Structure 1
Amino acid sequence: MRIVTRERAIAYRLHVNHLVERLPVGSHGEAAYVGLQDTAPRDALLGLHARMVGCTPGDWEHPSLIQTYSPRAAVYVLPVRDFGVMTLGRMPLDSRRVDELAEQVCETLNGQERRGAGIHGLREACASGRIAVRWDTTSLWAREVRRPDIDVADARRELCRRHVHHFGPTTPKVFAWLSDPRLSVQRFAVAAEGGA
């Protein structure tokens, strides 16, 4: 049995999350690969700067990046190309509530970007992949986006794989806390059996 020390686990995580050697200029998508929490004072920008050479103050809104709510109700910055993995990947196994909330939020938005304050169900509806947000540290704006073209089961498996690869060694309980506290432990076990 292999013993993984705390020091080795930390060294591994620093390496795979590009915190040992910074990525080249313009590597926004790779720097934000598993999502960067964006709480005040613009933490996602600090995360980008730690991972990528030549980061500028406006890089948090680079066209290759998008923002949405995480399951822990914080805004995250992530690659546009991975929006489906990071949203649909955390859909509950019974997604009816999220789908209904997303429909209501989209009706409220009515095709416009609007201030997010007071929009009922906005945070939870973001798991639908239909809603993106833009937070500039003073205001939050929400807009409807096209739902990503990825199978929900595939998105769940990929989210689990990324969690194991970037935050391992880990446990189903930790994955559940980070993704969806309702049924993620079961999802972790299913994804792990499928080769995660």
Structure 2
Amino acid sequence: MTNQSTVVSRLSWSDVWGRRLDRHGLSTPARGRPADAVAAMCGAHAQVLSAAELSVGLRVAGVTRSDVRQALWGERSLIKTYGPRGTVHLLPTRDLPLWTGALGALPATANSMSAEARLTPEQTEEVVAAIAGALADAELTIDELTAEVATRTGPWAVDPVVPAFGSMAPRWRQAIPLAAHRGALCFGPNRGRKVTYTSPQRWLPGFQPAPPSAALADLVRRYLHAYGPATPQQFAQWLSAPRRWASQLFDSLAGELQRVEVAGSAAWVCAGDTEPAPVPPQGVRLLPYFDAYPVGCHPRERLFPGPAAQRALSGGQAGNFPVLLIDGVVAGIWHLRRSGRKLNITVEPLAALTVAERQELDDQAKRVGEILEGEPLLTIGTVSIGGHA
């Protein structure tokens, strides 16, 4: 990738960690609303909703899980849907046109299903249209939505051909993330213990996906602000998109991006965004499963140095373990076991903590308790629980 500027700014890794912590609200929690924090981190992974609640609470002063739930199901300033990598995320409702415009424009990825099980392109379009029609004015469970899709398409859509936790799910479910990326589907409130789906049009009337080129450019800018300096390849990994496509996208934005060097390695930021953070990287944080910071930050060998890579990564994948973050870098793992209001927190540091770090860890455990509305009990010891699937 080329850049018009002949002057290359240089940043240290301390500068990078400080910028990222500051922009995530992890150096000093911001004063604002949950949706603002979610926008700043480019979405909060919400496959485990309690983890998303903790991710948001750690970034906004005084916020608890009840505040996040109110933002999601009460005021509707957050929306639960499929985001980057086709995984469940909380996104700001106001940004849904951007996200659907960008995610709906991603190149199709290779389908690992057998040829007999895959949806054809024509069937995919038919299923997405059926989902949009079924959810236009309803909140449906997966079984109810299956029945509606079958009625609107045909019996082929419900053939049990998709492997799913030891059983076989109907064929049409392959199209659920795409339907979300097109703006046809999002999550509704649970009905008892059952998940429901609905149309985001019900919460954001008249919304349309933004034009793809503008949406993708905006997403690159937001990603680089939160996670930069970064390379096109790292952006591709975060988004689960082809690397060549990401490089071409960055090239198309060359006039808006600026090359910098971090310890001799080239990466990119938004043009002019080369200042270090107002404060050095600092602080002890207990980040939950799939927190946006360890998932989105690169390179892995810098964020997970030495033993941290062996203990806190799962086949090179970040997020499967909750992590102890010290001064912007992974320094251990932790686990939480809830029993009523009791929150049993076990932290396994990978090096001895200083007196100041231990005090900060105590304070952080108290903050976790406030966010999750429980009574924390902190133990320093070995975490025996394996990573999340």
Band the TM-score falls in, shorter-chain normalisation? 0.7 to 0.9
> Which among 21, 29, 32 is matched to residue 22 of structure 1?
29
Q: Which residue in 2 is equivalent to 1:2?
A: 9
Contact 1:172 1:185 in 2 (8 A): yes
2:56 to 48, 52, 56: 48
**Which position in structure 1 is the counterpart of 2:89?**
76
Q: Residue 112 of structure 1 contacts residue 143 of structure 1 at CA under 8 Å; is this kept in 2?
A: yes
Question: Structure 1: which 5+ residue stretches go unaligned?
Answer: none
Tell me the percent identity. 23
After superposition, the C-alpha distances for 1:61-98 in whole angstroms (9 at most, x for unaligned) are: 31211111123232111111111222221223668x69
Distance 1:142 1:105 in 2: 10
Partner in structure 2 of residue 132 of structure 1: 186
Q: Distance in 2 between the 1:169 and 1:77 partners?
A: 24
Greater C-alpha radius of gyration? 2
1:54–1:172: structure 2 CA closer, same or farther, 3 Å change rule?
A: same
| Change over 3 Å in CA distance of 1:116–1:177 after alignment to 2 | farther
Residue 148 (structure 2) aligns with: none
Q: Which amino acid aligns with 1:43?
A: A
3-state SS, counterpart of residue 72 of structure 1: helix
The 1:41/1:93 distance shift into structure 2, 3 A limit, reads closer
Q: 1:148 aligns with which of 205, 208, 224?
A: 208
Give the structure 2 partner of residue 175 of structure 1: 235
Give how far 1:180 is off.
4.6
Greater shift after overlay, 26-35 or 176-185? 176-185
CA 1:116–1:11: 2 relative to 1, 3 Å? farther
State the SS of the aligned residue for 2:81.
strand
Query: Where does residue 159 of structure 1 map in the other structure?
Result: 219
Q: After TM superposition, give the deviation of residue 152 of structure 1 in Å.
A: 2.3
SS at match of 1:89: helix
Deviations 1:44-77 (A, max 9, x none): 1111111111212223331211111123232111
Between the aligned partners of 1:113 and 1:44, the Cα distance in structure 2 is: 23
1:104 is the counterpart of 2:130 = yes
- Note the aligned Cα RMSD (angstroms): 2.8
- Match for residue 114 of structure 1? 140
Q: SS at the partner of 1:142?
A: strand
Query: What is the rounded CA distance, in whole Å, between the counterparts of 2:106 and 2:181 in structure 1?
Result: 12
Q: Which has the higher strand share?
A: 2
Give SS of 2:54's match: helix
The question of whether the paired residues in 1 share the 8 Å contact of 2:54 and 2:65 is answered with: no
Residues 100 and 209, structure 2, Cα contact 8 Å, conserved in 1: no
* Cα pair 2:29 2:59 within 8 Å, conserved: yes
What number of residue pairs does the alignment pair up?
193
| Correspondence 1:88-99 to 2 at 5 A | 88-92=101-105
Q: Identify the match of residue 248 of structure 2 among 186, 192, 196.
A: 186
The amino acid across from 1:56 in the alignment is: T
Which stretches of structure 1, 4 residues or longer, exceed 6 Å deviation after superposition? none
Q: TM-score, normalised by structure 1?
A: 0.83
Question: 1:112: Cα distance to partner?
Answer: 1.4
Q: Which residue of 1 aligns with 2:18?
A: 11
Paired letter, 1:76: H
> Which of the numbers 97, 100, 114 marks the counterpart of 1:87?
100
What is the CA–CA distance in structure 2 between the aligned matches of 1:80 and 1:11, rounded to whole Å? 29
